[in-house]
């Protein structure tokens, strides 16, 4: 109950009390006044004086008052005029609320005498209130599955005014979904109702706003509005849908684990849980599950394992998206693995022949190998090469096989080893390459003969060498290796079959040192030559030759040998000199030879000792003994001369000879000079002359031998009979040393033991000088029994 309603009852009870108290004082019919609400204060409602018919003065005198039932001073009595004035602004809605009509009861009271007049003040409504909805905003949630025609009741609007001024009508903003209908409620009021005209589609229009307007019936009408928000509630009426039916992606095979492959995305028009999607694989192999991973919410697909183009080139991954209502959409991802040049080429050696002989035929296969590259396309195409400067060639055979063959002839002696680098490069980006190193050795073939350091060697040996003397070396080298380069030396059979080479020299087969096997004798052999061979141990062996010439150098090893006069004869020769001989008379000629040559054989003669010095002289160069002065009677009959013959070797060797001279009286001079013409002829043509001389000599020799033999016999018989001297017929000395050896060596000597009287005149001893230069004299040779004299002099 509102306070406005309680007051009038209390007022009525009080009024009833007064009515019972002085009933006779109350007028029968109440006065009736009406006033519009919100009239200005002081507005005149009625005039009491005129109503009752009193004088104005009476009002004060009778103590007139206005008393409302609720004792509120709504009206005021003006004592001067008797007008009832509005004491305050009346608000019908406050006074009566919805009660209609709104009547305020009051009494006009006169105290003296006491008199009551009943009166009513009707307060009239004016349209001073606007219809108002309780809620400024109404949210209407409607499922999109709601059938058309479904009504939705709305709250009615309130308007404090009553009657016609209350809410009379509702309107709805124009929209395609709803129309408005007014319904009557039980209390007779009207309320609006929204009726659905067509199905809602949340996916099309999830929410819209309507304005509901309430209108009252005032004039002008007042209106109030409320906002109706219609929220369309979702149902799972849409399946998820992927952006594309197939996603095609290319992934390099070297993508790291956890890298993003692709992001798929599906849409579901539904909202809420029906639009919440979860991505997953659909019917995929374990391979794919091992390799890929899908994020259920983001739809991102990651790599879970490394890809290998060489194993799998593409994947087809079926994916699905499921919403909260179990509707699903499907798609597929085609993952193409892109080859990356991640595999270097490989070289697999199949065979290798090393060493290879240097005389290999061209195109001989040295190695066989294959190459491969696991990559595809250009990444797997390969180029194979070796260094340019090698005598080898790469030849592709079939598929990926190559052979390494020799291109040009090999020569171990110039290069014995080849380091071959096989390089295989693919054509990918970046290029990958692989190298393989081979060492091919070239084995030796006996293709080089030993070569002597010189084509001819000249060795010089002094005669009388000690046996096994190292006289020199030959050396040969062989460019091959191993046994093919092992050189052995040998003596080859000499051209001259007479040369006893085997007993002269030997060669060390290993080092080529040459040794004289025996003591060489210049007088016997002045020079010889032979060939040495050097052979390697190859198979077949190769060999070469060199010429060795050994020159024997002379040493002064022969003392002069006195041919005349003979020294050891049982009957020493005695020269007879007539006392009448002039100075310069040729007594005898000492004839000596020397086996040596050159200086060593250059003899000089010297009178060493004489019975009577000064009587005889010896010509140093030709050994002629001549008288130095005329003989006289005083000179002794017998003379003994010691003549020294000496060569010019170093050291010199010498021999001495004793000459017996007998001075005789009346000894006719048998002088038998060689004709000068013959001598000149002999010089002019030595050979002819020589032969003639030799012939003559031999003839005369024989003649003289017979004569001498007879003479000696006679002489001995006579000496035996009388002890007298030997009478030898005078004649030229016929002895000769004949050189017959081609080398000019005195090989045979013919000696004739001849006793001659007198000098041999111009007879000369000649021999061919050897064609050898003079060698330095050998070491002292003192084994000769000849007398060695120093400081002799020529006479």
Query: Could you list the residues that contact ligand NAG (CB under 6 A)?
Result: 169, 171, 417, 419, 421, 435, 437, 439, 566, 568-570
Task: Closer to ligand NAG by CB, 639 or 786: give it.
Answer: 786
- Minimum CB distance to ligand NAG, residue 169 (Å): 3
Query: What is the C-alpha to C-alpha distance for residues 758 and 671, in angstroms, rounded to an integer?
Result: 8
Query: What is the C-alpha to C-alpha distance for residues 277 and 717, in angstroms, rounded to an integer?
Result: 173
- Minimum CB distance to ligand NAG, residue 133 (Å): 17
Task: Closer to ligand NAG by CB, 437 or 668: give it.
Answer: 437
Task: Closer to ligand NAG by CB, 489 or 765: give it.
Answer: 765
The CB density around residue 539, as the number of other CB atoms within 10 Å, is 9
Query: What is the C-alpha to C-alpha distance for residues 515 and 512, in angstroms, rounded to an integer?
Result: 10
- Minimum CB distance to ligand NAG, residue 168 (Å): 6
- Angle at alpha carbon of residue 610, lines to 606 and 616, rounded to 5°: 70
Burial classification of residue 364, based on how many CB atoms lie within 10 Å of its CB (0-12 exposed, 13-18 middle, 19 or more buried) = middle
Quick check: 44 and 84 in contact, CB under 8 A? yes
- Minimum CB distance to ligand NAG, residue 190 (Å): 8
Backbone torsions φ then ψ of 471, nearest 5 degrees: -105, -5
Task: Closer to ligand NAG by CB, 202 or 222: give it.
Answer: 222
Task: Closer to ligand NAG by CB, 217 or 729: give it.
Answer: 217
Task: Closer to ligand NAG by CB, 13 or 751: give it.
Answer: 751
Task: Closer to ligand NAG by CB, 170 or 457: give it.
Answer: 170
Backbone torsions φ then ψ of 144, nearest 5 degrees: -70, -10
- Minimum CB distance to ligand NAG, residue 640 (Å): 19
Task: Closer to ligand NAG by CB, 2 or 417: give it.
Answer: 417
Under DSSP, the state recorded for 203 is: T
- Minimum CB distance to ligand NAG, residue 197 (Å): 18
- Among residues 397, 392, 372, the alpha carbon closest in space to that of 382 is found at 372
- Minimum CB distance to ligand NAG, residue 753 (Å): 7
Query: What is the C-alpha to C-alpha distance for residues 526 and 188, in angstroms, rounded to an integer?
Result: 177
Query: What is the C-alpha to C-alpha distance for residues 15 and 109, in angstroms, rounded to an integer?
Result: 12
Query: What is the C-alpha to C-alpha distance for residues 757 and 707, in angstroms, rounded to an integer?
Result: 12
Quick check: 515 and 506 in contact, CB under 8 A? yes
Task: Closer to ligand NAG by CB, 566 or 620: give it.
Answer: 566
Tokens at 244, concatenated: 């594309």
- Render 96-129 in DSSP notation, one character per residue: HTT-SSEEEEEEEEEETTEEEEEEEEEEEP----
- Minimum CB distance to ligand NAG, residue 278 (Å): 52
- Among residues 650, 517, 657, the alpha carbon closest in space to that of 596 is found at 650
Quick check: 638 and 660 in contact, CB under 8 A? yes
- Minimum CB distance to ligand NAG, residue 386 (Å): 11
Query: What is the C-alpha to C-alpha distance for residues 179 and 747, in angstroms, rounded to an integer?
Result: 170
- Minimum CB distance to ligand NAG, residue 707 (Å): 21
Task: Closer to ligand NAG by CB, 231 or 566: give it.
Answer: 566
Residues 6+ apart with CB under 8 A from 733: 564, 589, 591, 754, 756, 760, 763
Q: Which helix (H) or strand (E) holds 367?
A: strand 365-372
- Minimum CB distance to ligand NAG, residue 482 (Å): 19
């Amino acid at each position: 109950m509102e306070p406005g309603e309680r007051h009038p009852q209390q007022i009525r009870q009080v009024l009833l009390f007064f009515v019972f108290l002085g009933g006779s004082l109350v007028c029968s019919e109440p006065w009736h006044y009406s006033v519009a609400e919100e009239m200005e204060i002081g507005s005149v409602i009625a005039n009491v004086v005129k109503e009752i018919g009193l004088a104005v003065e009476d009002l004060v005198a009778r103590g007139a008052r206005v008393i409302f039932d609720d004792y509120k001073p709504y009206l005021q009595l003006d004592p001067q005029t008797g007008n009832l004035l509005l004491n305050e602004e009346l608000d019908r809605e406050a006074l009566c609320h919805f009660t209609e009509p709104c009547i305020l009861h009051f009494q006009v009271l006169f105290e003296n005498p006491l008199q009551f007049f009943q009166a009513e003040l009707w307060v009239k409504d004016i349209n001073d209130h606007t219809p108002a909805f309780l809620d400024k905003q109404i949210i209407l949630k409607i499922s999109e599955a709601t059938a058309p025609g479904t009504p939705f009741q709305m709250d009615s609007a309130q308007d404090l005014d009553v009657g016609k001024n209350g809410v009379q009508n509702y309107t709805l903003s124009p929209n395609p979904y709803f129309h408005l209908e007014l319904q009557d409620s039980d209390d007779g009021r009207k309320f609006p109702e929204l009726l659905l005209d067509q199905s809602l589609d949340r996916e099309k229009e999830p929410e819209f706003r309507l304005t509901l307007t309430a209108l009252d019936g005032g004039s002008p009408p007042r209106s109030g509005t409320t906002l109706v928000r219609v929220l369309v509630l979702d149902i799972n009426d849409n399946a998820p849908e992927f952006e594309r039916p197939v996603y095609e992606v290319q992934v390099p095979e070297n993508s790291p684990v956890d890298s993003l492959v692709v992001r798929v995305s599906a849409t579901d028009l539904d909202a809420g849980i029906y639009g919440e999607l979860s991505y997953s694989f659909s019917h995929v192999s374990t391979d794919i599950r091992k390799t890929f991973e899908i994020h259920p919410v983001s739809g991102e697909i990651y790599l879970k394992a490394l890809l290998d183009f060489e194993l799998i080139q593409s994947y087809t991954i079926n994916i699905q998206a499921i919403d909260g209502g179990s509707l699903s959409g499907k798609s597929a991802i085609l993952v193409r693995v892109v080859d990356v040049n991640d595999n270097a080429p490989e070289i697999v050696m199949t065979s290798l022949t090393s060493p290879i002989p240097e005389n290999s035929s061209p195109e001989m296969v040295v190695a066989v190998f294959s190459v491969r590259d696991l990559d595809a396309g250009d990444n797997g195409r390969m180029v194979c090469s070796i260094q340019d400067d090698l005598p080898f060639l790469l030849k592709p055979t079939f598929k990926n096989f190559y052979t390494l063959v020799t291109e040009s002839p090999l020569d171990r002696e110039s290069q014995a080893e080849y380091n071959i680098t096989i390089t295989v490069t693919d054509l990918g980006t970046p290029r990958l390459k692989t190298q393989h190193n081979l060492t091919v050795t070239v084995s030796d073939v006996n293709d080089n003969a030993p070569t002597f350091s010189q084509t001819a060697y000249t060795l010089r040996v002094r005669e009388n060498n000690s046996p096994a003397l190292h006289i020199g070396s030959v050396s040969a080298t062989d460019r091959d290796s191993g046994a093919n380069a092992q050189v052995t030396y040998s003596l080859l059979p000499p051209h001259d079959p007479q040369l006893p080479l085997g007993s002269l020299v030997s060669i060390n087969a290993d080092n080529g040192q040459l040794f004289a096997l025996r003591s060489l004798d210049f007088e016997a052999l002045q020079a010889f030559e032979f060939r040495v061979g050097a052979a390697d141990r190859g198979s077949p062996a190769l060999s070469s030759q060199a010429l060795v010439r050994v020159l024997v150098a002379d040493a002064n090893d022969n003392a002069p040998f006195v041919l005349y006069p003979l020294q050891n004869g049982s009957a020493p020769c005695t020269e007879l000199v007539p006392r009448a001989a002039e100075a310069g008379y040729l007594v005898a000629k000492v004839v000596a030879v020397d086996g040596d040559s050159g200086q060593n054989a250059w003899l000089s003669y010297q009178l060493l000792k004489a019975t009577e010095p000064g009587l005889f002289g010896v010509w140093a160069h030709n050994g002629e003994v001549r008288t130095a002065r005329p003989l006289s009677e005083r000179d002794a009959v017998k003379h003994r001369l010691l003549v020294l013959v000496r060569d010019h070797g170093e050291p010199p060797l010498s021999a001495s000879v004793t000459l017996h001279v007998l001075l005789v009286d009346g000894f006719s001079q048998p002088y038998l000079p060689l004709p000068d013409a013959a001598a000149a002829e002999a010089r002019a043509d030595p050979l002819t002359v020589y032969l003639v001389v030799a012939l003559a000599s031999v003839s005369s020799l024989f003649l003289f031998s017979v004569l001498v033999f007879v003479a000696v016999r006679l002489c001995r018989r006579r000496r035996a009979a009388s002890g007298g001297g030997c009478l030898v017929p005078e004649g030229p000395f016929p002895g000769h040393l004949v050189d017959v050896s081609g080398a000019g060596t005195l090989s045979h000597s013919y000696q004739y033991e001849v006793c001659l009287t007198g000098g041999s005149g111009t007879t000369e001893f000649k021999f061919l000088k050897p064609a050898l230069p003079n060698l330095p004299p050998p070491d002292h040779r003192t084994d000769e029994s000849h007398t060695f004299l120093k400081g002799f002099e020529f006479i």
